[in-house]
Amino acid sequence: MIDRVHLQEIDWVLIGLLLVNSVIGILLIYSASHYQPGNFYVRQVIWLLVSLAVLFLALSIDYKILIGFSPYIYALFILILAGLLFFGKGTAGAKSWIRVTVFGGQPSELAKIALILILARIFAEFRRSHLSLDFAALSAGVVFVLVVIVGLQPDLGTAISFLAILFGCLVLAGLNKKALAILLAGTILVSFAGWNFLLKDYQKKRLTTLVNPGHDPRGSGYHILQSKIAIGSGGVAGKGFKKGTQSQLRFLPARHTDFIFSVLGEEFGFLGVFIVFLSYFFFLARLFRSVGKSRDRSGIYIVFMTTCLLTFQFLVNIMMIVGLFPVAGIPIPLLSYGGSSLLTTYLAVGLVVNVKMRRFVNV
């Protein structure tokens, strides 16, 4: 139950920033998809209400309890995702979708929460000044199992996002040179193995076209080029709401999901980009400032890993759509269309609020 004391300590500013960015997202989704069937903006509004409700429901459970259950939650997700891998019928070739209701659900998104919780549990009692090999190996192992399963679906974007969570907890635990070297070696090994055994051709192509987007105008380089044209042609003030030709005439790929920020750039120009940059920056800065406002170590880890995850996704996406990062299929939390992604983000931010509001409770 939510204590009156706890209610007073809820970070309303953080929740406000969360909502502001979600509303911006819905406006952009509307502009990017109002002319095609699917009613994506309506669905996103419903998802927003559902997510908000779930967030407040989750606040009533002490995060310590959630951490206590985290091995079971983690195991459950491994089972679901592995099961999907073997039995799932994918949407558009990806096996990550599970039909729950009228809305599609993506369990791999929610697995991020499970990962945050179990990593927080692992590092809850870690008191050394620097990361030790056994903890590095354990946490990396926990993450890589998921990375491999989700990567095989294949959902490279989500798999990479898991690494952002791992990176968060390892940094916090204190990466020394030796651990960093081992981590780098591991990453190289996994990348090598992944390139040869795991990645599909189209994913490889995405990585190679990052180097030269003009080379393959009809493949993934074409998508980056169209996105850059959209953003660049927005100029200072943009072409106006619902007036972006690149978006409305469908030259932009994945307009309401991965390339939603390109719609912003085209229709609202640099001014729009700058304002959303600011509002997102305030949101992320608020998260960073929440690190440490916790009654124990596990809380600090939860907040920092959530912060790293959301920051990573945002930065990677806005760099991807202008060709500074490979097209990895990573949506922007809150802005891109996607129910699972929205729910996951709300749950993660909910965890941060959860940690913060219980920081004065005695152990």
Partner 1 sequence: MKDSPIYEDVSHLLKRSSIIFLLVEIVFLFVAFYYWKIQILDYKKYWTLSEANRTREAVIPAPRAVLTDRSGSVVLANSVASFRASIIRENTKNFDESCRKIGQLLGLEEAIIRERMDKYKSLPVFKPIVVKDNLTLEEVSRIEGRKMDMPELVIETEPKRFYPFTTLAAHIIGCVQELTMDELRTTFKERKLGDMAGKTGVESSYESRLAGVDGKIIEVVDSLGRKRDELDRIEPQQSPKLALTLDYDIQAKAEELLTGKEGAIVVLEPKTGEVLALASFPTYDPNKFVNRFTPEEWMALANNPDNPLVNRAIQGQYSPGSIFKLAMASGALDSGTIVDQTTFFCGGSIQIYGRPFRCWFEPGHGTLNLYEAIQHSCNIYFYNLGRRMNIDTIARYAEELGLGKKTGIDIPGEKEGLVPSTEWKKKTQKTAWYPGETISVAIGQGPLQVTPLQVAAMTALIANRGARIYPHVLREGREPAENIKITSAIFEKIIEGMWRSANMGGTGQGARVDKFDVCSKTGSTQIIGRETAEKLGTQRKTHSWFTGFAPRNNPRVVVTVLVEFGGLGGATAAPIAGEIFKLYKNKFYDRQSSSPGD
Binding stretches for partner 1 (CB under 8 A): 127, 129, 171-172, 174, 226, 228-236, 245-246, 249-251, 265, 269-270, 273-274, 277, 281, 284-285, 288, 291-297, 300, 304, 307-308, 311, 315, 318-319, 322, 324, 359-360
What is the closest distance, in whole angstroms, from the C-beta atom of residue 74 to partner 1 in the complex? Answer: 23
C-beta closer to partner 1: residue 57 or 324: 324
Query: Using alpha carbons only, how large is the chain's radius of gyration in Å?
Result: 20
C-beta closer to partner 1: residue 50 or 315: 315
The two three-digit tokens of residue 346, written as one number: 């709300």
C-beta closer to partner 1: residue 101 or 129: 129
What is the closest distance, in whole angstroms, from the C-beta atom of residue 230 to partner 1 in the complex? Answer: 7
C-beta closer to partner 1: residue 193 or 278: 278
Closest CA to 176 of 188, 184, 187: 184
What is the closest distance, in whole angstroms, from the C-beta atom of residue 224 to partner 1 in the complex? Answer: 12
Tell me 90's DSSP state.
P
Residue 226: beta bridge partners? none
Closest CA to 343 of 357, 333, 355: 333
Give the 3-state secondary structure of residue 245. helix
What is the closest distance, in whole angstroms, from the C-beta atom of residue 125 to partner 1 in the complex? Answer: 11
Residue 360: beta bridge partners? none
C-beta closer to partner 1: residue 96 or 220: 220
C-beta closer to partner 1: residue 205 or 295: 295
Contact 189, 182 (CB under 8 A): no
Q: What is the DSSP string of 1-52?
A: ---HHHHHT--HHHHHHHHHHHHHHHHHHHHHHTTSTT-HHHHHHHHHHHHH
Interacting residues of 335 by C-beta distance below 8 A, sequence separation 6+: 21, 24, 25, 28, 260, 261, 264, 276
What is the closest distance, in whole angstroms, from the C-beta atom of residue 121 to partner 1 in the complex? Answer: 16
C-beta closer to partner 1: residue 104 or 174: 174
C-beta closer to partner 1: residue 142 or 320: 320
Interacting residues of 337 by C-beta distance below 8 A, sequence separation 6+: 25, 29, 33, 40, 43, 44, 256, 257, 260, 331
What is the closest distance, in whole angstroms, from the C-beta atom of residue 176 to partner 1 in the complex? Answer: 12
Calculate the dihedral angle through the C-alpha atoms of 312, 315, 316, 322, rounding to the nearest 10 degrees: 180
C-beta closer to partner 1: residue 204 or 297: 297
What is the closest distance, in whole angstroms, from the C-beta atom of residue 127 to partner 1 in the complex? Answer: 8
Q: How far is CA 21 from the centre of its chain?
A: 14
What is the closest distance, in whole angstroms, from the C-beta atom of residue 327 to partner 1 in the complex? Answer: 16
How many angstroms separate the Cα of 128 from the Cα of each of 132, 139, 190, 206, 299? 8, 15, 28, 41, 17
What is the closest distance, in whole angstroms, from the C-beta atom of residue 5 to partner 1 in the complex? Answer: 13
What is the closest distance, in whole angstroms, from the C-beta atom of residue 292 to partner 1 in the complex? Answer: 5
C-beta closer to partner 1: residue 258 or 296: 296
Interacting residues of 316 by C-beta distance below 8 A, sequence separation 6+: 160, 325, 328, 330
Q: What is the DSSP string of 279-294?
A: HHHHHHHHHHHHTT-S
